Each structure stands twice: as structure tokens, then as C-alpha cells.
Amino acid sequence: MAWTFPGSSEPPRLRQRLSRLPAWPVYPLAVLPVIWLFWQGATGRIGIEPVEAVEHRLGLWALWALLAGLAVTPLRRLAGLNLMRFRRAIGLVAFFYLCCHLLTWAVLDVQGLAAAWADIVRRPYVTVGMAGLLLLLPLAATSWNGAIRRMGGRAWRRLHRLVYPAVLLGAVHFVMLRKGWQLEPLLYLGLAIVLIAARFLPTGKRSSPNR
């Protein structure tokens, strides 16, 4: 049941406006900040450690996008705000940011596949982050209508529930990356747990949670 405000027609109007918006502009709008970020890094406008700054921001943007994707269903249930048409785009944007994050780390930070593999094996926070990325690979590969038809809706939904452990691993990666117990990554981890739990709350209808 969605929350409504007596005497206000704004929620229906907002829903109507959102229903007219296409999802495709999400993709170019997501690419532009990456171009700007790399330009800042290349021109020395992002601090004394540009590679680290670019790497960190890309990872953080990916986590933001993953959390935004998880928030779509709770927003629909609690506020009546239907953003389902944007969820696939948000998920693919998150995967794009993660790939940029990975490439920045492998090419510009550790500078080589051998060094990257050594970090994956020796550093637990890298292992956790890589595990989260690997879980997202089949989701990105099947985020098109043809995959849904070939797999069947039920099997597709089961596969895409991998997003839950993937987001948790990403948040844990952030917690482990920071030295000591810092508030910011713990807040992201807590938010991920809350959003995942909210998707399984009873709604009065018998339905399995979708991605």
C-alpha cells in the first residue's frame, strides 16, 4: 500500500510525468561524469593522487547505482513511485561504473594482470570486491528482453537475485577498504541491508521479489 497525502494530487501527477520519460537518456547521462572524471585526473585537477581518486569515485558511483536499483521496489511499494522502467538502465550503469573502476585499478593502479591477480589472491578486500563483480556478470549479460524470453521469467528472476549478495559484497568491500571502522562505508552497508530486507516485506499479495 502506497503512502498518500490527503488533498494532494502531486503523487499522481509525478507518476504521470515519470511514465512519459524514456529510459535511454540514463545511459549518456551516466557516461558524461566518467569522461569528466578522467579528464580531471589527466589534467591534475583531482588532487595529488589522481588515480586513487578516480578509482575511488568510480567505485562509489557504482555502489550508489546498485543501491538506487535496489530502492526501486521499496519506492513503488511505500510511496507509489514507479521507476521500474529505469531499473534495467540503472543496473547496467552500475555495471559500467564497476568495469571502469576495475580497469582503472588494473591498468593505472597496479599496472598489470600479474599484479592484479596477486592482489586478488592476497588482499581480502580485493577478493570480496571481485566476487561481487563476478556475480554481476551474468546479470549484465542477460539484461535484455531476448534473454528473458529464452530463459523464462521465473528462471530469469531467480538468476537476477544474485544482485543481493553482489551489492552486499560491494558494500563489505568498501568497509574493508577503509582503515578502521569508519561511518560512511558502514552506512552504505546498513542501507544495503535495509533495502534488501524491504524487498521481502509482505505486501498483502503473494508474489516473489523481483530484481
pLDDT > 70 fraction of the chain, expressed in percent and rounded: 87
Take residue 28 and report the three cell numbers written for it.
549518456
Say which residue, 26 or 22, is predicted with more confidence: 26
The mean predicted confidence, pLDDT, of the chain is 88
Could you report the per-residue pLDDT of 127-166, keeping only the tens digit for each? 999 999 999 999 999 998 999 999 998 999 999 999 999 9
Take residue 192 and report the three cell numbers written for it.
544495503
Mean pLDDT across the stretch 198-209?
63
Q: Does the pLDDT at position 10 exceed 50? A: no
Its pTM surpasses 0.75? yes
Q: What per-residue confidence (pLDDT) applies to 19? A: 65
Domain ranges of the chain: 20-198
Could you report the per-residue pLDDT of 34-60, keeping only the tens digit for each? 999 999 999 989 889 999 999 999 999
What residue has cell string 586478488?
120
Amino acid at 84: M
The three-point CA angle 129-90-102 to 5° equals 30
**Which among 111, 163, 104 has a CA at the least distance from the CA of 134?**
163
105, 111 in Cβ contact below 8 A?
A: no
Residue 79: pLDDT band by 50, 70, 90 thresholds? confident
